[in-house]
Amino acid sequence: MEIFKQFRLFFVIFILILCAVFYRSFSNSIFRYDAAKMALPSLQGENIITEEQIPGMMDKALIIDIGCSDSVLVKSVKNINKISPDSILDKKYTRKLLKHEGPIILLSSDNSTSAKIWMLLSQKGIRNIYILSYEKEFEALKYTLKADSLSMP
């Protein structure tokens, strides 16, 4: 007891620091520590899937439509959650996403929206998120430079 008395002030500060550390590490309302680690799957495109891969993941996957997808698949699959991108961070949705075990698939006809939502959710510590891409090759340059384009009207 004598020891505790001598360190009283320090212990108060230490416990405050400890609380802050716990808040920083586990709170859902702020971004997780180590942004680079959370962004890793995006480096080589591991987070991008194509339509062929979907049936294999179907039974465990949570499919989220974040913007007017009109793929054939969307019509055939029943349990699609429609969430508008503005409200994806609402508590009820994030709780659902955090709880879900297994892949989460983002659908959108606009790649930029899915990319943004992917990065945001990943930084909040939600793993296993995938983006469905309708393009065969991810981030490929579809055009080549033609020398004659100099002679434009």
**In the bound complex, what is the minimum distance in angstroms from residue 96's beta carbon to other proteins?**
16
- In the region spanning residues 22 to 41, those forming contacts with other proteins, defined by CB under 8 A, are 24-25, 29-37, 39-40
Tokens encoding 86: 């503005």
| Residue 112 engages other proteins in binding (rule: CB under 8 A) | yes
Q: Which of 71, 81, 109, 113 binds other proteins (CB under 8 A)?
A: 113
- C-beta closer to other proteins: residue 5 or 99: 5
**In the bound complex, what is the minimum distance in angstroms from residue 59's beta carbon to other proteins?**
27
| Residue 53 engages other proteins in binding (rule: CB under 8 A) | no
Task: State how far the alpha carbon of 29 is from the alpha carbons of 26, 125, 147, in Å.
Answer: 9, 11, 53
Q: What is the DSSP string of 95-139?
A: HHHHH--S-EEEE-S-HHHHHHHHHHHHHTT---EEEE--SSSTT
Cα first-last separation, the chain:
90
Q: Which of 53, 81, 88, 100 binds other proteins (CB under 8 A)?
A: 88
Site string for other proteins, 54-83 (x = CB under 8 A): ------------------------------
